[in-house]
């Protein structure tokens, strides 16, 4: 089920569909363990590093929530995917990577969801751009639960104030929280991160009177634990698409296919 034959990173929709079915079975099993309904959990296919044809294969396999890490990459990819699949199969696009203030304009034009608002500065600019474009962007506040210096996200103690700010801004709809757990070979070792985010969300709900239905947490190596702890969005790349093409694999392909 690996990536097959093109420098654009094309994938076989049937292979993606088989992977997606496996992922959904694993989500359902995690939900059973936690006493949840599988319908509560949705999947974002993170297509960072893959070409438009690969993203289109995901849509053709039946998954229309696509995630991108970089605004610049999305500017070319999103219109290309739309051309490949047509308007009737249009995807919902999620920005799951860090958003810089100077990219807010493009984020508003390209994305339906932004999972990574982590400062008042970014929130204000996103609001200004969304209002100007007469759009409403669905927003998650990114929280650096583990306090990793290499990761983005607001500190947990500052999250309630930022959530309340986002909730007050026109053009934005605050939907919940997002986090990225530390890399670990043992998913159980990061369970506390997901649990802490859920507890933080619940506390903000109670204290601030906000709905905050969404928890975006869990990736390929730890999504089952995240689901057990309350994830409503899991962000999956490798589990659906295989390994991302590297410069070396693309060089080998170009030689092989020439």
The CATH number that applies at residue 83 is: 3.20.20.10
Phi, psi of 210 (to 5 degrees): -110, 150
In a domain? residue 254: no
CA angle 163, 164, 169 (to 5 degrees): 100
User: Left, alpha or beta for 72 (phi > 0: left; psi -120 to 50: alpha)?
Assistant: alpha
DSSP state at residue 2: -
In a domain? residue 249: no
Residue 1 · residue 242 · CB < 8 Å: yes
Distance CA 229, CA 224 (A): 9
Instruction: Find the domain containing 104 and state its range.
Output: 13-241
Q: How many domains does the chain have?
A: 1
What's this model's pTM, rounded to 2 decimal places? Answer: 0.91
In a domain? residue 28: yes
In a domain? residue 77: yes
In a domain? residue 248: no
Query: Using one digit for the tens of pLDDT, what is the confidence trace for 192-223?
Result: 999 999 999 999 999 999 999 999 999 999 99
The residue written with tokens 């969304």 in the block is: 130
CB within 8 Å of 165: residues ≥ 6 apart: 120, 123
Q: Looking at residue 168, what is its pLDDT?
A: 98
In a domain? residue 247: no
- 76 has a pLDDT exceeding 60: yes
Distance CA 99, CA 105 (A): 11
- 164 has a pLDDT exceeding 70: yes
Nearest to 48 by CA among 106, 80, 86, 95: 95
Distance CA 10, CA 85 (A): 14
Distance CA 194, CA 157 (A): 16
In a domain? residue 252: no
Q: Looking at residue 246, what is its pLDDT?
A: 66
In a domain? residue 5: no
- 256 has a pLDDT exceeding 90: no
Nearest to 47 by CA among 39, 58, 38, 37: 58
């Amino acid at each position: 089920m690996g990536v097959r034959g093109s420098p654009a990173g094309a994938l076989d929709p049937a292979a993606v569909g088989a992977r997606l079915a496996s992922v959904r079975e694993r989500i359902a099993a995690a939900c059973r363990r936690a006493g949840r309904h599988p319908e509560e959990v949705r999947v974002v296919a993170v297509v960072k590093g893959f070409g438009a044809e690969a993203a289109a294969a995901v849509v053709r396999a039946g998954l229309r929530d696509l995630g991108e890490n970089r605004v610049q990459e999305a500017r070319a990819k999103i219109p290309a995917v739309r051309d490949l699949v047509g308007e009737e199969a249009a995807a919902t696009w999620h920005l799951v990577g860090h958003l810089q203030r100077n990219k807010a304009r493009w984020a508003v034009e390209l994305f339906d969801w932004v999972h990574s608002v982590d400062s008042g500065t970014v929130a204000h600019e996103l609001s200004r751009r969304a209002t100007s474009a007469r759009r409403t962007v669905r927003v998650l506040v990114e929280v650096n639960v583990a306090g990793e210096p290499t990761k983005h996200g607001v500190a947990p103690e500052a999250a309630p104030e930022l959530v309340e700010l986002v909730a007050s801004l026109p053009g934005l709809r605050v939907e919940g929280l997002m986090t990225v757990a530390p890399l670990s070979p043992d998913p159980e070792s990061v369970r506390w991160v997901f649990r802490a985010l859920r507890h933080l969300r619940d506390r903000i709900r109670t204290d601030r009177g906000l709905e905050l239905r969404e928890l975006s947490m869990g990736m390929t190596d730890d999504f089952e634990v995240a689901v057990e702890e309350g994830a409503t969005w899991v962000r999956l790349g490798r589990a659906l698409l295989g390994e991302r093409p590297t410069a070396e694999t693309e060089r080998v392909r170009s030689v092989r296919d020439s």
